[in-house]
Amino acid sequence: MRTQKIHAFILKKTPYKESDFILQLFTLEKGLLSCLVKGVRKNNKWKSDFELFTLIEAEYIIPKDKNSLRKIISIEGSSPIEKDFGYNELLSISVISEICLKNCPEHHPIERIFNLLYYTRLSLNADNKRFLIIFLVKFFSIIGLFPEFKHCGVCNQQISSNVLWNKQIICSKCNNVQEENLDFTEVKVLYFFQMNDFQNCLKVKMDQELKNKLFNKVCKEFLHHTEKSIKTLDLHNDDFM
């Protein structure tokens, strides 16, 4: 019996049969992966309670057919939640899980996404609109959906004024449709989020108007390109921001 050890974030758990779970994981070693955990609800040998976004170390049996479910035989969960998460943090977690599940390839490791999830988890913050802007900019920059925000994608000159964001960043000189949808302040904030670590990004002061504008633009841009709706994002209306 050949086994493999993995480090993984739990993105989704689904009860299966009488006492089993199917876990959808983002792993350091294999990227997205679905695994079966048997007998969870029958006995207490599992240390983890499989809360969403828990970081676990697990071992599974390597299946003969690489596409079949891996059966987990041991699991060590880190403490799932070091502090009490409120409603806003839990909402952010549900968005992050859904985005990873819909946009990461299966069986394809992306170390930068794993690291992003690690720091995202450490930085969970009640100001979830700002938190999610930072996450979305970082996530979609890593998978190549968002452009680098500092230079014009056409002439490669450094940006110094308002731009058009349409897949790439287009400066006012190269922009022949005479339309701009990001002002210079927004470009600078997006570039800062792209380049700096999560904790420093959270220190950036943004008033409500800037937050709302950036949130809408960032969401619109990736929804436009991925054509995958993110159900949990619809919960993020202004009523509870």
Q: Can you give the binding site for Zn ion, defined by CB under 5 A?
A: 152, 154-155, 171, 174
Closest CB to Zn ion among 124 and 187? 187
Closest distance of CB 133 from Zn ion, Å: 25
Closest CB to Zn ion among 72 and 171? 171
CA–chain centroid gap for 235, Å, is 16
Crossing angle between the packed helical segments 128-142 and 111-123, to the nearest 10 degrees: 170
Closest CB to Zn ion among 31 and 153? 153
What angle is formed at CA 86 by the lines to CA 211 and CA 58, rounded to 5 degrees?
A: 105
Closest distance of CB 183 from Zn ion, Å: 16
Which tokens is 49 given?
């309670």
Closest CB to Zn ion among 6 and 171? 171
Question: Residue 226's CB: how many other CB atoms inside 10 A?
Answer: 15
Q: What are the backbone dihedrals phi and psi of residue 186, each rounded to the nearest 5 degrees, phi first?
A: -65, -40
d(CA 148, CA 209): 24
Closest distance of CB 192 from Zn ion, Å: 21
Closest distance of CB 196 from Zn ion, Å: 25
Closest CB to Zn ion among 32 and 170? 170
**Residues 13/33, Cβ–Cβ less than 8 Å:** no
Closest distance of CB 151 from Zn ion, Å: 8
Site of tokens 């633009």: 217
